[in-house]
Amino acid sequence: MPSPELSVVIPVFNEVANIGPLLARLTPVLHRLTPDWEVVFVDDGSADDTLLRLRAARAADDRIGVVTFSRNFGKEIAIAAGLDHARGDAVVIMDADLQHPPEVIADFVARWREGFVMVYGQRTDRIGETPLKRTAARAFYRLFERFGETGLPRGAGDFRLIDRRGVEALRALGERARFSKGLYAWIGFRSIGVPFTVEQRLHGNTKFSYRKLFSFAFDGITSFTTVPLRVWTYIGTVISVFSILAAAYYLFRTLLFGTDLPGFPSQIVSVMFFSGVQLMSLGVIGEYVGRIFAEVKSRPLYVVAERLGGPAAVPLPPGPRRAPAPLANALVPADG
Ligand code: UDP
Ligand code: MG
């Protein structure tokens, strides 16, 4: 079967009421863009009639594909599964609740045809969100910007189009705690934002509780920085230095004015010194754990955007630890 030009991946979790209205708005947009499209729904273990509704949609149009999970694995994993199953030259990721207006996909595709590999939707504001959520999100992004290994474009979420090259790069990332927003940025490539206005969720409520959001943020921070592991070295060093200063201070005070509480200075100084040393050694262990973590994530060392004079598309080698393409392959001259 030839691969379609455009795939749309939609993770769904208990969205029965939204699927009909979503398809009614989405398919005309796709028709206008290309006759050659597919929609891949990933049913993330819905407990309502979502799957029944999806089966009906598939029966009516076989360009609609459905992947169902055995239980709820979470949106990030559902997106990963969608990218594994989508076959298009470009893949759009969007939510099922019509907060991501399907009409924007036309702008995405226009940008993609201009040569951008990653076209992300950029929220112009965060309407319909509580001030608490907004503040928490802002704090998170500030933290990520300060310590994360990649920047995150402002207002960018999962609503985006990714060229096949980007999709393959994402699929080659072996890590299990998947913080998609970070991964999109990590793979790089020519990217551009397209502003859009977030609409109100059509039916139902958000599937993300504060608890889920917090653990999501935690995943994001911990998979893109080892700073929390390593700060202890610095904190420990500071405390140890203070203990030495305190020792000097107590020594001179005792020499000049005598002692008012015998034993106290030596106690406080040794407690400070040894807690500092312990924190430092925790930090040293953290350095190594951080390196082990980087290794077990087994991200590819680099992502090739293009090869001049080599084969245009090199298929990914199989296996969980994907080795770089063999050197001989990379050196094939342009004329064969
Ligand atoms: N979703 C999912 N699995 C989950 C939670 C959400 O597949 O465990 C889907 C959900 O059906 C929707 C999208 O992810 O299509 C975004 O979810 P939601 O609208 O609840 O998130 P919000 O817009 O509030 O961030
Ligand atoms: Mg939503």
Q: What is the pLDDT of residue 312?
A: 53
72 pocket-lining for ligand 1 (C-beta < 6 Å): yes
What is the 96 CA–ligand 1 centroid distance (Å)? 8
Q: Note the pLDDT of residue 147.
A: 83
Which tens digits make up the pLDDT trace of 83-125?
999 999 999 999 999 999 999 999 999 999 999 999 999 988 7
Other C-beta atoms lying within 10 Å of the C-beta of residue 335 = 5
Residue 314 is predicted with a pLDDT of: 54
Asked if residues 297 and 175 have their Cβ atoms less than 8 Å apart, the reply is yes
Determine how many CB atoms are found less than 10 A away from the CB of residue 34: 14
pLDDT category, 303, cuts 50, 70, 90?
confident
CA–CA dist 85, 99 (Å, integer): 23
The one-letter amino acid code at 203 reads: H
Rounded to whole angstroms, the Cα distance separating 303 from 146 reads 24
Confidence check: pLDDT of 15 > 50 = yes
Give the CA distances from residue 187 to residues 122, 181, 201, in Å, rounded to whole numbers and listed in that order. Answer: 18, 11, 30
Q: Is the pTM of this model over 0.85?
A: no
Tens digits of residue pLDDT in 165-223:
999 999 998 888 888 888 999 998 999 999 998 888 888 888 888 888 888 888 888 88
Q: Tell which atom from ligand 1 comes closest to the C-alpha of 78.
A: 7
CA gap 313, 292 in Å, rounded: 32
Domains, the chain, with CATH or none: 6-225+299-328 (3.90.550.10), 227-296 (no CATH)
Which burial class, exposed, middle or buried, applies to 218 when counting CB atoms under 10 A from its CB (0-12, 13-18, 19+)?
middle
Q: Is the CB of 123 under 6 A from ligand 1?
A: no
Residue identifier of the C-alpha nearest atom 13 of ligand 1: 95
pLDDT, average across residues 305-321: 59
Give residue-wise pLDDT tens across range 221-257: 888 888 888 889 999 999 999 999 999 999 999 899 8
Query: What's 316's DSSP letter?
Result: P
Smallest CA separation from ligand 1 atom 16, residue = 95
Over residues 274-279, the mean pLDDT reads 92
pLDDT tens, 38-85?
Answer: 999 999 999 999 999 999 999 999 999 999 999 999 899 999 999 999
Q: In terms of Cα–Cα distance, which of 210, 16, 173 is closest to 83?
A: 173
Q: Which of the four pLDDT bands, split at 50, 70 and 90, describes residue 310? A: low
Q: Give the per-residue pLDDT at 128.
A: 65
Can you give the pLDDT at residue 328? 41
Q: What is the mean pLDDT of residues 288-293?
A: 89
Q: Is the CB of 196 under 6 A from ligand 1?
A: no
- CA dist list (Å): 111 to 104, 145, 324: 11, 26, 30
In the chain, pLDDT over 90 holds for what percent of residues?
51
Looking at the predicted structure, is the pLDDT value of residue 326 above 50? no
Helices (H) and strands (E) in the chain, counts: 11, 7
The arrangement of strands across the sheet holding 37-43 comes to 64-68, 37-43, 6-12, 90-93, 156-163, 118-123, 191-196
Which pLDDT score, from 0 to 100, does residue 42 have? 95
β-bridge mates for residue 9, sequence order: 40, 93
pLDDT at 311: 54
Confirm or reject: Cβ of 181 under 6 Å from ligand 1: no
Residue 307: pLDDT band with limits 50, 70, 90: confident
- What are the CA-CA distances from residue 178 to residues 74, 76, 195, 301 (Å)? 10, 6, 25, 18
Distance from chain centroid for Cα 318:
23
What percent of the chain is predicted at pLDDT more than 70?
91
